[in-house]
Amino acid sequence: LAKTTQPISMDSYEGQEVNITCSHNNIATNDYITWYQQFPSQGPRFIIQGYKTKVTNEVASLFIPADRKSSTLSLPRVSLSDTAVYYCLVGPNQGGKLIFGQGTELSVKP
């Protein structure tokens, strides 16, 4: 499974757009890129998943360049409730073994 690297922490203010970038230089052809969000004392929650280009849902957007060696999670107009740890995962996602890295601790300030 491909290793991922993402910033340990980020700070933002309410209303700003937040972009969290994840590096995955060893991504394989059949790997998908998935982001999870985790609030304190809760289990991780799926946010978004993509293979290439851009994916958007009601929560976030995921930008993946052509070489797929990195990806960027974009959270539009964050609020205090977006304060959480965000994990980037890369894998074939078949049979389920996921490797969670350290994640990015996002702190949104008023």
Partner 1 sequence: DVKVTQSSRYLVKRTGEKVFLECVQDMDHENMFWYRQDPGLGLRLIYFSYDVKMKEKGDIPEGYSVSREKKERFSLILESASTNQTSMYLCASSSSGQGKETQYFGPGTRLLVL
Q: What is the rounded distance in angstroms from the CA atom of residue 24 to the CA atom of residue 91?
A: 10
Strand 104-109 relative to strand 9-13, pairing: parallel
Q: Which of 1, 23, 32, 105 binds partner 1 (CB under 8 A)?
A: 32
Residue 71's nearest CA partner among 33, 109, 101, 28 is 33
Which one among 13, 43, 52, 106 touches partner 1, defined by CB under 8 A?
Answer: 43
Site string for partner 1, 48-87 (x = CB under 8 A): -x--------------------------------------
Q: Is 66 helix (H, G, I), strand (E, B) or coil?
A: coil
Q: Can you tell me which of 61, 74, 83, 101 binds partner 1, judged by CB under 8 A? A: 101
Q: Which helix (H) or strand (E) holds 91?
A: strand 84-91
Please report how close the Cβ of residue 103 comes to partner 1 at its closest, in angstroms. Answer: 7
* Residues in contact with partner 1 by the rule CB under 8 A: 30, 32, 34, 41-46, 49, 92-98, 100-103
